[in-house]
């Protein structure tokens, strides 16, 4: 996780020092305090996001949104899964080794995803606009919508209403799973956008 995020941040032009992954057990309060103090000092030195990188806030935001799209990309995730499998096979969990494997397997995919056509750049913005409305929209809501395209408009209308009714129920039922579903729905949106 660490290595992949660092790689993507690097591509986006964000300094790696802004991310820290550390371990402190429940009994290590002094260590935790030290870690937080050090990290805060480190970030304070870097200044606000974009200052140490020499980028404008708007520019860095668009770059990060692109990075978010890259990291949610199905292909990238697939390669990431393969890389983790390779690490597990070797049973060598040192940071250096994992970083090496990730770099070896993923540099190409990540750079390719970053240099993907500009239409990808528009998608994150689209997603953001849609998200609040269809936050917890489950798979069911999407499926009838697809069917509706094929069927005449009269039949489509009641189905859409049903889907709308299902949404609030689903929200109540699974608030914890909302985050996971969000991810699913973003992937779905991507595929539908391509179809259109």
Which residues here bind other proteins, judged by CB under 8 A?
Answer: 1-2, 4-5, 8-9, 12, 14, 17-33, 35-37, 39-40, 42-49, 61, 64-65, 67-68, 71-72, 80, 183
Minimum distance from CB of 190 to other proteins (Å)?
Answer: 13
**Least separation in angstroms between CB 119 and other proteins:** 19
Q: Cβ of residue 71: shortest distance to other proteins, in angstroms? A: 5
| Minimum CB distance to other proteins, residue 63 (Å) | 10
Q: Considering beta carbons, is residue 33 or 193 the nearer one to other proteins?
A: 33
State the minimum distance, in angstroms, from the CB of residue 152 to other proteins. Answer: 39
15 versus 171: smaller Cβ distance to other proteins: 15
Judged by beta carbon, residue 37 or residue 107, the one nearer other proteins is: 37
**Closest listed residue to residue 58, CA positions, set 16, 66, 11:** 66
Identify which of residues 111 and 158 has a Cβ nearer to other proteins in the complex: 111
Rg (the chain; Cα; Å):
21
State the Cα–Cα distance between residues 146 and 140, nearest whole angstrom. Answer: 10
Placement of tokens 């995919």 in the chain: 109
Contact assessment for residue 164 and residue 105, using Cβ atoms and an 8 Å cutoff: no
Give the separation between CA 153 and CA 162, rounded to whole angstroms.
15
In the complex with other proteins, the residue whose CB is nearer, 4 or 137, is: 4
Q: What is the closest distance, in whole angstroms, from the C-beta atom of residue 81 to other proteins in the complex?
A: 12
* 129-138 contacts at long range (C-beta below 8 A, 24 or more positions apart): 130/189, 131/182, 131/186, 134/167, 134/185, 135/171, 135/178, 135/182, 136/167, 136/170, 136/171, 136/174, 136/178, 136/181, 136/182, 137/167, 137/170, 137/181, 137/185, 138/166, 138/167, 138/170, 138/181
Please say which residue, 68 or 148, places its beta carbon nearer to other proteins.
68
């Amino acid at each position: 996780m660490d290595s992949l995020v660092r790689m993507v941040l690097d591509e986006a032009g964000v300094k790696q020092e802004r991310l820290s992954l550390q371990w402190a057990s429940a009994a290590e309060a002094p260590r935790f305090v030290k870690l937080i103090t050090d990290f805060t000092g480190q970030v304070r030195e870097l200044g606000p996001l974009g200052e140490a990188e020499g980028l404008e806030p708007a520019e860095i935001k668009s770059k990060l949104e692109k990075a978010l799209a890259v990291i949610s990309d199905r292909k990238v995730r697939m390669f990431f899964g393969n890389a983790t499998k390779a690490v597990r096979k070797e049973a060598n969990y040192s940071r250096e080794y994992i970083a090496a494997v990730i770099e070896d397997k993923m540099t190409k995919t990540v750079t390719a995803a970053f240099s993907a056509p500009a239409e990808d750049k528009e998608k994150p913005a689209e997603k953001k606009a849609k998200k609040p409305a269809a936050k917890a929209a489950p798979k069911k809501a999407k499926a009838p919508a697809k069917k509706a395209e094929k069927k005449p408009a009269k039949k489509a209308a009641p189905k859409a209403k049903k889907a709308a009714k299902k949404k609030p129920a689903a929200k109540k039922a699974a608030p914890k799973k909302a985050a996971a579903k969000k991810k699913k729905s973003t992937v779905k949106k991507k595929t539908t956008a391509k179809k259109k």
